[in-house]
């Protein structure tokens, strides 16, 4: 039977739903990461499929369980946002190394549950598989709901990214002679991926009388936090610091989003092990409770979200997160929201009200307050995509590690009791509230 995608009914997309019925019934225990690379080197053992298997095995070992205890696998089958296979020839040594499915690109430019299970013979008891389409944020909420509803009790959650040589976003639909679907209303004007956020941010600057350079302290904090993330790309390959001069003189990608406001595409894979609190008692690591998950399904009136729609979206997401977890902003220890473009964080913080930040105040807060890991209100302690490379999963890993007390040099100074993470944003993201206890 083909692996299904997450049913729409599983997403908590509306305000007023009350406390999530699964609160405290699902925990994250194990974590597994592959190495990182800028691009694939064409070796079978460094393909996205190989690294997914490696990350899954690491998560199993980290949790201290045996593979035959795994009864569920949830993943995002897509493994790129901009690097496409095109007309390349699949290396014969890759075909010889792994068992193949009917899709010739499985394990090399996408992932399927079937491919992973075929190539992990130790997974002998998997009975549940599902696709959380888009990114790790969707896979996490899918797995959380699956465990909470009893469809799986020990579940691996997987997200892989590939990256090939060549220009980013030059393949797929962008390589077609014509533009189809709803994309014809926006993509036809071209522009880099950050241009939508840049337009919203430009309106923000004009509305509140701010300037782009006020982002420096936030971007620099993410850079430094990323260098403390040993699993990340910059820490492993390019331990480079950022100066204010570098930032304010960075070349524009989509003004006012410059080079340092954009993340770098890389290859990497991560996996987590979710289970029930009862089963976690016999596992190796401290359980991290999932207190709530929500979805952003707000529709926009036009082709692109306006500033006002973006702000409304951020506020609504925060309300849903707090309500479903039965908490308030005062309960948050730290925040790890999505930063695919650093400018997103202004909207996230103001929507959450974290640190008392209100509309129009985030940039002043960045300029005048300590936002680092030893501050009263740690902001993006993971360093996000900016700090470790484009994956959309560093924020989730950090939430789990912070609450487990395993974040190493990134460990925040305040007690790590409740954190939030998720994305992308706006219109379409998924968000999770993590806690050190079920309450």
Q: State the pLDDT at residue 291.
A: 98
d(CA 55, CA 271) in angstroms, rounded, equals: 5
d(CA 40, CA 267) in angstroms, rounded, equals: 7
Tell me the CATH number for domain 8-168+265-280: 3.40.47.10
Buried b (16+ CB within 10 A) or exposed e, 332-355: bbbbbbbbbbbbbbbbbbbbbbbb
Question: What 3-state DSSP class applies to 252?
Answer: strand
Residue boundaries of the structural domains of the chain: 8-168+265-280
Based on DSSP, count helices (H) and strands (E) in the chain, helices before strands. Answer: 14, 11
Max CA separation in the chain (angstroms)? 60
d(CA 371, CA 377) in angstroms, rounded, equals: 6
Q: State the pLDDT at residue 270.
A: 98
> Would you call the peptide bond into 256 cis, given omega within 30 degrees of 0 as the criterion?
yes
| Residue 107 falls in which region: left (phi positive, over 0), alpha (psi -120 to 50) or beta | left
Question: What 3-state DSSP class applies to 74?
Answer: strand
Taking 50 as the pLDDT cut, the residues of the chain under it are: none
Q: State the pLDDT at residue 173.
A: 67
All residues at 6 or more sequence positions from 158 whose CB lies less than 8 Å from its CB, including other chains? 52, 55, 56, 73, 74, 75, 76, 111, 116, 139, 269, 270, 271
């Amino acid at each position: 039977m083909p692996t299904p995608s997450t049913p729409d009914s599983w997403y908590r997309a509306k305000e007023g739903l009350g406390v999530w019925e699964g609160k405290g019934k699902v925990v994250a225990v194990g974590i597994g990461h592959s190495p990182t690379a800028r691009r694939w080197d064409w070796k079978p053992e460094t393909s996205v499929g190989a690294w997914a298997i490696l990350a899954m095995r690491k998560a199993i070992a980290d949790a201290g369980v045996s593979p035959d205890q795994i009864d569920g696998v949830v993943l995002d089958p897509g493994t790129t946002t901009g690097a496409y296979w095109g007309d390349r020839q699949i290396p014969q040594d890759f075909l010889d190394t792994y068992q193949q499915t009917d899709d010739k690109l499985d394990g090399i430019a996408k992932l399927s549950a079937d491919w992973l299970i075929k190539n992990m013979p130790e997974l002998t008891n998997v009975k549940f598989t599902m696709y959380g389409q888009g990114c790790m944020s969707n896979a996490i909420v899918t797995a959380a709901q699956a465990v909470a509803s009893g469809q799986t009790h020990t579940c691996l959650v997987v997200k892989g990214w590939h990256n090939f040589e060549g220009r980013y976003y030059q393949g797929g639909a962008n390589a077609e002679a014509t533009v189809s679907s709803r994309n014809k209303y926006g993509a036809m004007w071209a522009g880099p991926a950050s241009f939508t956020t840049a337009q919203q941010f430009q309106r923000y600057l004009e509305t509140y009388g701010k300037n782009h350079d006020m982002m420096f302290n936030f971007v620099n904090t993410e850079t430094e936090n990323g260098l403390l993330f040993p699993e990340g790309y910059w820490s492993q390959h390019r331990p480079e610091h950022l100066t204010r001069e570098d930032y304010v003189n960075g070349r524009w990608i989509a003004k006012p989003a410059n080079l340092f406001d954009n993340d770098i595409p890389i290859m990497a894979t991560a996996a987590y092990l979710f289970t029930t609190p009862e089963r976690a008692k016999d596992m190796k690591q401290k359980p991290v409770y999932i207190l709530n998950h929500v979805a952003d399904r707000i529709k926009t009136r036009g082709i692109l979200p306006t500033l006002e729609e973006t702000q409304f979206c951020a506020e609504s997401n925060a309300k849903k997160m707090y309500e479903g977890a039965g908490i308030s902003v005062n309960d948050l220890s730290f925040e790890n929201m999505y930063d695919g473009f650093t400018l997103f964080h202004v909207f996230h913080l103001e929507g959450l009200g974290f640190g008392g930040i209100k509309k129009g105040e985030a940039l002043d807060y960045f300029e005048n307050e300590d936002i680092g890991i030893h501050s009263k209100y740690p902001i993006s302690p993971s360093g996000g995509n900016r700090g470790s490379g484009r994956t959309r999963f560093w924020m989730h890993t950090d939430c789990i590690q912070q609450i487990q007390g395993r974040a190493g040099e990134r460990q925040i100074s305040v007690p790590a009791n409740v954190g939030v993470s998720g994305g992308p944003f706006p219109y379409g993201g998924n968000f999770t509230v993590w806690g050190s206890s079920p309450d």
